[in-house]
């Protein structure tokens, strides 16, 4: 995993509930920057490293790649066929092609130059004015960006050397010292292969890293508010019904009233926990919780009604002609199961006899359990959300952002 991928992963783990809208924008900006860099990376430009014999093309490729991918040597020509290597820094990936010397294999060099996105011409203080170098430059299409690297520049640089080479080659020269750093070369490569905007990659990378730092800092500072929510969660009691459920004329109306009552209880949970913290944070948590599926709860109530009817019928002591008992029970018996205080018609009481109160209490308890489940479910949602957020440690995001930033300086 690259440092960019690691940072993107950390971004995805941040509990967005802890952030306000502006802060979420910052986080998204970071993700977008990473995505844009990744997209640019997928295009993977090719850079041909060309130059006269012995100028140190393979050395430069190896330095940029950070490993010996193309053999170097003192016997000329050293490189006889193109050597390709993907070089990545941060998330910019470039395919470098080490080519044979121009004088030895012009056809190969021409082909690589033509198919590449940019060219790095490597010269040395002793051979920047070679006719073969001028010849090579003349063979590079005007629309292909060229960087000229002068290798083996002495320390200190002979006065006027770089300027003179710039004049002779009509190019800006990047000087590289023997055993020196090639980071300047890499910077120029990054500029050149991203022609839309030389600094675009750097800006995006800085935005991603900065976003990571900011979000990590914000999440850390939110821990106070989160702490209050945790305390409230611990203290919160799950509300219960303050009185009997209301019984309306028919079952449908009654069911709607029960659903409304349960919704009220769930709001009570939100109130008790959510308002313990600063309004913004608690409200964002509330909005982040899964919406209550009232329809599904309504269906459970209907099932409860059917089960209740069945329980009454099964317990009936007297049976009339088939169906008559059921009709009567189904019409009114459920009312006492919703509210045991409701007095059932004498006919029902007669049919049920001494088993009536037992059935009523069992079915009433079953209904209360349904209601309690729906309310404690809300409490559980709060608990999950808060503990998820509390479990998140912004340190790993900060670490990823720093690692991503640091990868800029490595080659």
Partner 1 sequence: MSELNDILDLLDLAIGRSEGVLDERAWDRAGSLRSRLRVRDHYLEDALTVAFAGGTGTGKSSLVNAIVGAEVVSAGVLRPTTQAAVAVVPANLGGSIAALLDAVGVGETSDESGPEGRVLVDLPDYDSIERAHREIASAVVPNVDVVIWVADPEKYADPTVREQFLEPMLAYEDQFLFALNKVDLISEDVEPVVDHFRSILTTIGYASPSVVATAARNGQSGEADVEDLAHALAESMDTKRAALAKAALDIRMLSNEAWAFCHRKAVEWQSDSDALAASTFVSLGVAGYEMHARATDSATDRGRGT
Residue with tokens 């949970």: 269
Nearer to partner 1, 103 or 402 (CB): 103
* Pairwise CA distance, residues 120 & 188, whole Å: 10
**CB-wise, 177 or 200, nearer to partner 1?**
177
For residue 171, state whether it binds partner 1 (rule: CB under 8 A).
Answer: no
Q: How far is the CB of 56 from partner 1 (least distance, A)?
A: 9
Indicate whether 168 belongs to the interface with partner 1 (CB under 8 A): yes
- Residue 257 in the binding site for partner 1 (CB under 8 A): no
Question: For the chain, how many residues are written?
Answer: 411
Distance in Å, CB of 31 to partner 1, minimum: 48
Among 5, 29, 164, 267, binds partner 1 (CB under 8 A): 164
CB of 59 to partner 1, least distance (A): 11
Q: Which is nearer to partner 1, 44 or 132 (CB)?
A: 132
What residues numbered 321-350 form the site for partner 1, per CB under 8 A?
none
Please work out the total of residues on this chain that contact partner 1, with binding judged by CB under 8 A: 31
Residue with tokens 């008790």: 272
Give the DSSP H or E segment for 63. Answer: helix 57-65
Q: By C-beta, is 87 or 133 nearer to partner 1?
A: 133
DSSP letters for 211-237: HHHHHHHHHHHTHHHHHHHHHHHHHPP
| Coil vs helix vs strand at 152 | strand
Q: Which residues contact 381 (CB under 8 A, 6 or more apart)?
A: 289, 290
- Of residues 45-74, those binding partner 1 (CB under 8 A): 52-55, 74
If one counts every other C-beta atom within 10 angstroms of the C-beta of residue 28, the result is 13
Binders in 71-130 for partner 1, by CB under 8 A = 74-77, 101, 103-104, 124-130
- Compute the least distance from the CB of residue 90 to partner 1, in Å: 33
CB of residue 114 to partner 1, shortest distance in Å: 21
**What tokens were used for 347?**
């006919």
The nearer residue to partner 1, 104 or 271, going by C-beta atoms, is 104
Q: What is the largest CA-CA distance in the chain?
A: 119
DSSP string, 348-400: HHHHHGGGHHHHHHHHHHHHHHHHHHHHHHHHHHHHHHHHHHHH--HHHHHHH
Interface with partner 1 by CB under 8 A: which residues? Answer: 52-55, 74-77, 101, 103-104, 124-134, 152, 154-155, 158, 160-161, 164-165, 168
């Amino acid at each position: 995993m690259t440092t960019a991928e690691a940072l993107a992963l950390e971004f995805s783990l941040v509990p967005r509930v802890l952030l306000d809208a502006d802060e979420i924008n910052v986080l998204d900006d970071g993700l977008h920057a990473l995505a844009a860099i990744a997209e640019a990376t997928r295009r993977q430009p090719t850079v041909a490293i060309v130059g006269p014999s012995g100028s140190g093309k393979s050395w430069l490729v190896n330095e940029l790649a950070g490993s010996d991918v193309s053999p170097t040597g003192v016997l000329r020509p050293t490189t006889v066929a193109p050597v390709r290597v993907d070089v990545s820094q941060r998330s910019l990936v470039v395919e470098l092609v080490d080519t044979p010397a121009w004088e030895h294999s012009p056809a190969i060099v021409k082909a690589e130059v033509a198919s590449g996105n940019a060219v790095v011409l490597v010269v040395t203080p002793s051979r920047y004015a070679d006719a073969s170098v001028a010849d090579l430059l003349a063979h590079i299409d005007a629309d292909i960006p060229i960087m000229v690297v002068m290798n083996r520049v002495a320390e200190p640089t002979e006065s006027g050397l770089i300027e003179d080479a710039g004049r002779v080659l009509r190019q800006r020269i990047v000087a590289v010292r023997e055993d020196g750093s090639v980071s300047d070369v890499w910077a120029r490569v990054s500029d050149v292969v991203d022609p839309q905007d030389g600094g675009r990659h750097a800006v995006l990378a800085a935005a991603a890293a900065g976003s990571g730092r900011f979000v990590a800092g914000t999440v850390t500072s939110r821990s106070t508010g989160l702490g209050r929510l945790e305390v409230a969660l611990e203290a919160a009691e799950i509300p219960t019904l303050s009185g009997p459920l209301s019984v309306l004329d028919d079952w449908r109306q009654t069911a709607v009233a029960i659903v409304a009552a349960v919704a009220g209880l769930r709001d009570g949970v939100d109130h008790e926990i959510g308002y313990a913290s600063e309004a913004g944070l608690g409200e964002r948590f509330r909005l982040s919780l899964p919406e209550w599926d009232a329809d599904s709860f309504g269906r459970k109530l209907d099932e409860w009604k059917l089960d209740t009817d069945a329980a009454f019928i099964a317990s009936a002591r007297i049976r009339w002609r088939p169906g008559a008992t059921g009709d009567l029970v189904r019409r009114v018996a459920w009312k006492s199961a919703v509210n045991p205080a409701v007095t059932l018609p004498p006919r029902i009481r007669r049919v049920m006899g001494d088993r009536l109160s037992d059935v009523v209490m069992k079915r009433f308890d079953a209904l209360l359990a349904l209601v309690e489940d729906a309310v404690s479910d809300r409490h559980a949602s709060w608990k999950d959300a808060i503990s998820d957020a509390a479990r998140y440690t912004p340190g790993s995001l900060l670490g990823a952002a720093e690692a991503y930033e640091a990868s800029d300086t490595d080659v």
